[in-house]
Amino acid sequence: MLRLHGRSYSTAPTPSARLNLPIDYKSTPLLHHTSTSLSNAFDLPSSSTSKSMNLYQAINAALRTALSSSSKVMLFGEDVAFGGVFRCSMDLQTEFGSERVFNTPLTEQGIVGFAIGAAAEGMKPVAEIQFADYVFPAFDQIVNEAAKFRYREGRTGVNVGGMVIRMPCGAVGHGALYHSQSPEALFAHIPGLQVVIPRSPSQAKGLLLASIFENNNPVVFMEPKVLYRAAVEHVPNEYYTIPLNKAEVLKPGNDLTMISYGQPLYLCSAAIAAAEKALGASVELIDLRTIYPWDRETVLDSVKKTGRAVVVHESMINYGVGAEVAATIQDGAFLRLEAPVKRVAGWSTHTGLTYEKLILPDVARIYDAIKQTLEY
């Protein structure tokens, strides 16, 4: 597989741009820039300590916590032994041994099938797929085996809960066709799977530990790879979890509900700041966190309050997560709607190298959607 360089090519498109500016991860309100807001956020004792780290370090910390908490936890995949191509498994083989942390041959279907077998016999395998773009050889194992295992076994009670399939996803500016994809909608179509996408380091640690220890279903855990180095915040040192299937209201608002997840939340936050300033409206921002099964109640409660909704995601708009959310909103909050539910998502094409910035959602398009929906 190819690997991507961590550098960012993003600069302001023109000197007068005020929307499509590079995301300033050092000042975004979506990250815990100090430790003071942590104990409230995660219901931790005030004595708990934290450390500033980026997303790959938080994944690494979560995996370290998991491997030391239970001897059932295993970690494997391509190039995992030397630390992984994104450094998420750094030092873990040295600390926990090559019995539980190891390289596999280059076979995604083998990796996922192996994890299913191990989970069926009581282990907690964490399988790494090097890029979400490369998960498709494992689609049969995920769709026909992991998702259907409990249902097929019936009274035997055997299931593959506790298994987690981790994969980096999303665009980084130069990944083109095979290092940019976010296939969450394909997995969210499959009953039996849980699909989780964290937005930040502290969210990633809590959600990953919940996926491994507090959830008895197979989890597809998708990590926005552009955040591996870019997103830095304080992360609690101790074990903590964030419940799956629960969305979070990141910012309250009254006039419009914006629903997103993963990296585009930072674009939403910037667009909302610009729109609130320019248009005088107040926008509520919701992070779905778990894409499926998803927290319909939080979304519907919000839209019933605001009467307007915009859904934002990076992957293609056609048959995407936005379609499901929009349909659920019109079904559950129709009489409260003041405008059609709008979707801002990737266009229905592949992520051509030269065109990435024009294909994927940006702050200007999200801003425009807010404006249109408010003015409808």
Partner 1 sequence: MSSILPLSRRIPRIARRSTLPLSQRWSTSISQRPGSDRVRFPGAVNSKFTTEMSFINPQDMPSIPTYRVLDSDGVLVDKDRKPLGVSNEEILVWYKNMLTVSIMDIIMFEAQRQGRLSFYIVSAGEEGISIGSAAALTPDDVVFAQYRETGVFQQRGFTLKNFMSQLFANKNDNGYGRNMPVHYGCDYPRTHTISSTLATQIPHASGAAYALKLQSLQNPDTPRRIVACYFGEGAASEGDFHAGLNIASTRSCPVVFLCRNNGYAISTPTLEQYRGDGIASRGIGYGIDTIRVDGNDIFAVYEAMAAARALALSDGGKPVLIEAMSYRVSHHSTSDDSFAYRARVEVEDWKRRDNPIIRLRKYLENQGLWNEDLERSAREGIRAEILREFGAAEREKKPEIRMAFEGVYDEVTDEARGQMGELKRILETYPEEYDLRAFERGIEGL
Cα–Cα distance list, 110 to 20, 139, 163, 195, 307 (Å)? 42, 11, 14, 21, 47
Residue 297: count other Cβ atoms within 10 Å of its Cβ: 11
10, 41, 69, 110: which one binds partner 1 (CB under 8 A): 110
Taking the C-alpha atoms of residue 101 and residue 72, their distance in angstroms, rounded to an integer, is 12
Which positions from 306 to 345 touch partner 1 by CB under 8 A, shown as an x/- string? -----------xx---------------------------
Q: Is 133 in the site for partner 1 (CB under 8 A)?
A: yes
Nearest to 270 by CA among 14, 17, 16, 6: 17
Taking the C-alpha atoms of residue 129 and residue 258, their distance in angstroms, rounded to an integer, is 31
Q: Is 376 in the site for partner 1 (CB under 8 A)?
A: no
Q: Is 347 in the site for partner 1 (CB under 8 A)?
A: yes
Cα–Cα distance list, 7 to 109, 230, 333 (Å)? 31, 10, 43
Which positions from 190 to 219 touch partner 1 by CB under 8 A, shown as an x/- string? ------------------------------
Taking the C-alpha atoms of residue 193 and residue 183, their distance in angstroms, rounded to an integer, is 13
User: Which stretch in 119-127, 130-138, 217-225, 232-240 sits in contact with partner 1 by CB under 8 A?
Assistant: 130-138
* Catalytic residue chosen out of the listed positions 78, 128, 145, 179: 179
Smallest gap from residue 124 Cβ to partner 1 (A)? 22
Q: Are 165 and 220 in contact (CB under 8 A)?
A: yes
Smallest gap from residue 17 Cβ to partner 1 (A)? 5
178, 214, 297, 376: which one binds partner 1 (CB under 8 A): 178
* 108 flagged as catalytic: yes
70, 82, 252, 338: which one binds partner 1 (CB under 8 A): 82
Taking the C-alpha atoms of residue 252 and residue 360, their distance in angstroms, rounded to an integer, is 26
Give ∠ CA 345-350-355 in degrees, rounded to 5: 80
Smallest gap from residue 160 Cβ to partner 1 (A)? 20
Q: Is 83 in the site for partner 1 (CB under 8 A)?
A: yes
* 174 flagged as catalytic: no
What residues act catalytically?
108, 179
